[in-house]
Structure 1
Amino acid sequence: MQQFNRAFVQHDKSLLDGLIAEDCVMESVEPAPDGTRYLGRQACLEFWQRLADSRDSQFADEDIVAIDDRAIILWRYRFGPGMSQSVRGVNVMRVRDGQIVEAFGYVKSGDAVAAAVRSATASDE
């Protein structure tokens, strides 16, 4: 979980390589109320790599707790001009054999953060 979190804090998407299981299931924080569901290693990895690589936003971890195969990451996400806006959120994750198999994101948000996340993770295609 430390390495996963560091990828976003340091904007280093290469740190995500090898951390995502083939059968990973991830639900992003938007759109409310259920988020977007991503299935499989490739879909989850691509989403997270785009988010980690984005220079239009910045993550700061507030706390990371790991118990057995579960992890909770509390974070603050900054975005907007001069990183002047922010929201707090949490990821609830499950790990198997050192790889992420489940990740569910929750955030205290509104339309502004949803737009920022969509922008940061938009595909260039």
Structure 2
Amino acid sequence: MTQELVMDATAYDLSQQTAEIMRRYNDVFQRHDPSALAELVAEDCVIENTVPAPDGARHAGKAACVGLWTAIATQAGTRFDIEETFIAGERATIRWRYFMADGNSLRGVNLMRVAHGRIVAAMGYVKG
């Protein structure tokens, strides 16, 4: 097997692993069940959240990230529609629409990075 084919196979395997992690991550919000977060999030995970505008807040460390995502996932009367998930190696882009309890909605995107089978970074942006 040539080096190019080995690299393609390695990149494919990494993308498949990232896709599975993102599927499980998205399920947390679709099912309003954060129980999978502890095994998906790395100890050194960092989130740059969408609020407060314009720059959002930074959350560092597994406990802070799991806590934030748990609060979002379990918020009563809300839902996320996943519009598209794009995977490239260890990176993922998730385009979503969030429906709030009051009936309003907003669109946004998360730029995610996975390393060693865990989410290590998430940067959220909303359409203004």
The normalised TM-score by structure 2 is 0.80
**Where does residue 121 of structure 2 map in the other structure?**
102
Size of the alignment, in residue pairs?
107
Between structures 1 and 2, the one with greater helix share: 2
Query: Within 1, Cα distance between the matches of 2:48 and 2:41?
Result: 14
Match of 2:62 among 32, 41, 44: 41
Query: Which residue number in structure 1 is paired with residue 107 of structure 2?
Result: 88
Match of 2:74 among 53, 64, 72: 53
Q: Which runs of 5+ in 1 are unaligned?
A: 110-125
In the TM superposition, what whole-angstrom CA distance separates every residue of 1:19-78 from its partner, at most 9, and x where no partner exists? 000010101101112100001001001000111111231111001111111000000000
Which amino acid in structure 2 is aligned with residue 4 of structure 1?
Y
Which residue of 1 is the match for residue 15 of structure 2? Answer: none
4+ residue stretches of structure 1 with deviation over 2 A? none
Residue of structure 2 equivalent to 1:17? 38
Segments of structure 2 that go 5 or more residues without pairing to the other structure are: 1-21
Larger Cα-atom Rg: 2
Q: Deviations over 1:53-106 (max 9, x none)?
A: 11231111001111111000000000133xx21111000010001101010000
- TM-score, length-normalised on structure 1? 0.82
